[in-house]
Structure 1
Amino acid sequence: MKKIIHVVAGGPDEFLPDLSDYAQKDAIWIGVDKGVQLIIQHGLHPDLAVGDFDSISPEDFLRVKRLVPSLRQFKPEKDETDMELAILTALEMTPSVIKIFGATGGRLDHLMANIMMLGRFKQHHPDTSFEMIDTQNSLSVFVPGFYQIGREDEKKYVSFIPVFSDVNGLTLKGFKFPLTQHHVPLGSSLCISNELIQETGHFSFEKGILMMIRSKD
């Protein structure tokens, strides 16, 4: 049985999907700093809260302490971001899937750090699926292998972007712009805004870390 963990940060509300759409039995909800309040506002029950909680008022923090079964509080002066500490906490539970919300929009430094962090964690935890979701996009990272994806009419654009280094041997089948054993340099815009032309498509690659972003206009 898959263990699914949902991690919710305190990103801008306009980028946050309706979290109740992702409610499912046995899913574990972790709030990151003020993200724990967003979980509660969406009518869900956080299992754990992680962070320095410098983004919420003392009164709200007391409420969080009353409502959340487990809380890990850190000093603001630390080497890791609250998001990194939350994902490290999630990984202690050996999950199959980690979905992250509230991590996009607002500050670009946080966004870039979160994206690069997912690539690093994927290298060390290849059997865990990592996905970052907002109202317009879903972002996943992959290690070398063969993968199948289905078409999503709402998020029709599919982009593939190398993380950390070049990607070697990228093959795309079932896409508007197919590739066969292609070398994709780091920083290349070659694989932006592709589209599936079949109900399912396949992609594979031999070396590197690959980020896939599915987007809507």
Structure 2
Amino acid sequence: MQATGKKAILVGGGPVHYGLLRTALAAGYDLLFAVDGGGKPLADLGYQPQFLLGDFDSLPLSYQNELAAKGVQVLRYQQEKDWTDLELALNQIAAQQCHTMLVFGALGGRLDHTLVNISLMYRMEQSGTELVLIGDEQAVTLMTGQGRIRIFPFPGGHFSLLPYPFNAQGVSIWGAKYPLERATLELGSTRGIHNEFLTGPVEVELEAGSLLIIVEGLRHCPEGRTLFQRLPR
């Protein structure tokens, strides 16, 4: 994904693709943020986040103590609250002028959490913040309004385009098995499900509306790969 402004990496408590997390960490960041159980993979990989946030129902006490002893700023919340730990963390990061966020551990696991995390992408996109959610098997990003994105292939991977939360208009696909030219994808239609890579990157363009780009098969994705790149229109 092309950086616009400051870049943040956030690690939550869901399933994590360790290879892609190591790749993102090695590429550099302006802010590293752990959400509850997400403190464990960062500590295990030898990284120290600037912030650790949560109600700490999923991070062992030994990790909490270790990170706090190293000077990590701990933001502690009650378990009974009106917002998820991830939403609270995204608000904290957005306040620090981070306009690109890679969010690990926010897909898979509980369906309700996965769905609300996807909905948070729309709110953040409307405020000018680009999110990529990366699980251990899927990665998701969102385009709204006019946009163009490049998807990088890997063996065993495939991708889908889903209108969300509105219809997607003027959708074009180049470089994939099933191309498309200025089509409308309607909310509730399955037309954009399961497209396949050929030999090179795929480009997707959107003229209006909003569109989820979902890459599947990350268990086959080797370390060192980039998944998405935002392109100028």
Counterpart position of 2:224:
none
> 1:8 and 1:151, CA in 2 relative to 1: closer, same or farther beyond 3 A?
closer
**Letter of the structure 1 residue corresponding to residue 44 of structure 2:** Q
Matches within 5 A, 1:13-24: 15-18=16-19, 19-23=21-25, 24=27
Q: Is the 8 A contact 2:35 2:89 kept in 1?
A: yes
Q: Distance in 2 between matches of 1:201 and 1:52?
A: 40
1:106 shift after superposition: 1.6
1:34, CA displacement in angstroms? 1.8
Indicate how the Cα distance of structure 1 residues 199 and 57 shifts in structure 2: closer, same or farther if over 3 A, else same.
Answer: closer
Give the equivalent residue in structure 2 for 1:98. 101
**1:170 and 2:171 are equivalent in the alignment:** yes
Alpha-carbon separation, structure 2, partners of 1:120 and 1:162: 15
CA positional deviation for 1:26:
4.0
Check conservation: 2:169, 2:206, Cα contact below 8 A.
yes
| Cross-structure match for 2:143 | 142
**Structure 1 unaligned regions, length at least 5:** none
TM-score for the superposition, normalised by structure 2 = 0.82
Aligned to 2:132: 131
1:110 aligns with 2:113: yes
Normalised by the length of structure 1, the TM-score is 0.87
The Cα shift of 1:140 comes to 0.7
Q: 8 Å contact 1:37–1:64 — kept in the other structure?
A: no
Structure 1 stretches of 4+ moved >6 Å: none
Maintained 8 Å contact 1:49/1:68: no
C-alpha distance in 2 between matches for 1:154 and 1:28: 31
The answer as to whether partners of 1:170 and 1:184 remain within 8 angstroms in 2 is yes
Note the C-alpha offset of 1:20: 2.3
Per the TM alignment, residue 67 of structure 1 is displaced from its structure 2 partner at its CA by: 2.4
Question: 1:205 and 1:84 mapped to 2: Cα distance?
Answer: 27
Partner of 1:69: 72
CA RMSD of superposed structures (Å): 2.1
C-alpha distance in 2 between matches for 1:150 and 1:56: 34
Aligned to 1:3: 6
The percent of aligned pairs where both chains have the same amino acid is: 26
Hey, what's the Cα distance between the residues in 1 that align with 2:120 and 2:193? 21
Q: Secondary structure at the match of 1:96?
A: strand
Quick one: distance in 2 between partners of 1:123 and 1:160? 19
1:112-156: CA deviations, max 9, x gaps? 11111112221222xx32101123222111112241415312363
Note the residue ranges of structure 2 that are not aligned, 5 or more in a row: 221-233
Give the length in aligned residue pairs: 213
**Contact 1:173 1:202 (C-alpha < 8 Å) held by counterparts:** yes
